[in-house]
Chains A and B, each alone.
Chain A
Amino acid sequence: DQQVKQNSPSLSVQEGRISILNCDYTNSMFDYFLWYKKYPAEGPTFLISISSIKDKNEDGRFTVFLNKSAKHLSLHIVPSQPGDSAVYFCAASGDDKIIFGKGTRLHILP
C-alpha cells in the first residue's frame, strides 16, 4: 500500500524550460513533505521541504507547491539545467520517519 505515489516514472524537459514533478499521498496525518534528488551510484540528497501548514516554499530555482485538499504536491524547477537530470523522490513524514515514493527520472534535453 503506497502512501506516497509518483505516477510518472520518467519525464523529459528541454533545457531552460520548466520541469514539473508531481506527487500524491494518501495519509492525511503527514505534516512535512520533502523532495530528494538522486544521481547514479550516490545516495539521495535533500532538496527542499514544505510544512503542511504552508502551500508554497521556494528556494532558488526550486519551488514546492502543496494542495492539501487534493493530497497533492509538485516540484517546479525553473529554468531546468543539464545538472538537474536525476531521479527525484517525493517523500512525506508524520512522525520521525520519512516515507518515499518510487521516484521520477528527469531528463533535461539540450
Chain B
Amino acid sequence: DAGVIQSPRHEVTEMGQEVTLRCKPISGHDYLFWYRQTMMRGLELLIYFNNNVPIDDSGMPEDRFSAKMPNASFSTLKIQPSEPRDSAVYFCASGNKGRFNGYTFGSGTRLTVV
C-alpha cells in the first residue's frame, strides 16, 4: 500500500494564477479530508468527502477555493485566483468510519504564492 499520495510536493506560483493540488487516497477508504497547515492557525479542516460526496465545506476560506472528488481514487483542491496568504502546507487524509484509529495523511503539498 503506497499510502495517501499527494502531488505536487512543492508548488510555487504567482499571485493571481490558478493552482490545483491533487490527492490519491488509500484504496478502500470511504472518507477523504483536505487540511491546511499554517503557523497562525495550525491544522485546519477545509472540506471532507464521504463516498465521493462533499459533506462539510464550512472550512473552505473563500469562494476562490473549490474541491472535487470525481471518483473514489482521486480528489483535487483548486485555488483560483491564488493570493500570497494562501501560502501553506496542504494535506490530504483518508480513512474509514471509526475515528478512534485516526485517518492516514499524505506528505502534503507546500504551496508558495509570490
Contacts and interface: CB of A to CB of B under 8 A. Distances in A.
Nearest to B91: A43
A43 B105 contact: yes
A101 to B, nearest CB: 6
Where chain B touches its partner, the secondary structure class is strand
Interface in B11-27: none
A99 interface: yes
Contacts of A100: 35, 42-45
A93 B99 contact: yes
Given A34-B102, A101-B42, A103-B43, 11 more contacts: A32-B100, A43-B91, A46-B101, A46-B103, A89-B42, A96-B97, A98-B45, A99-B45, A100-B45, A102-B41, A102-B43
Interface of B: 4, 31, 33, 35, 41-45, 48, 50, 55-56, 91, 93, 97, 99-108
Interface of A: 32, 34, 36, 41-46, 49, 51, 89, 91, 93, 96-103
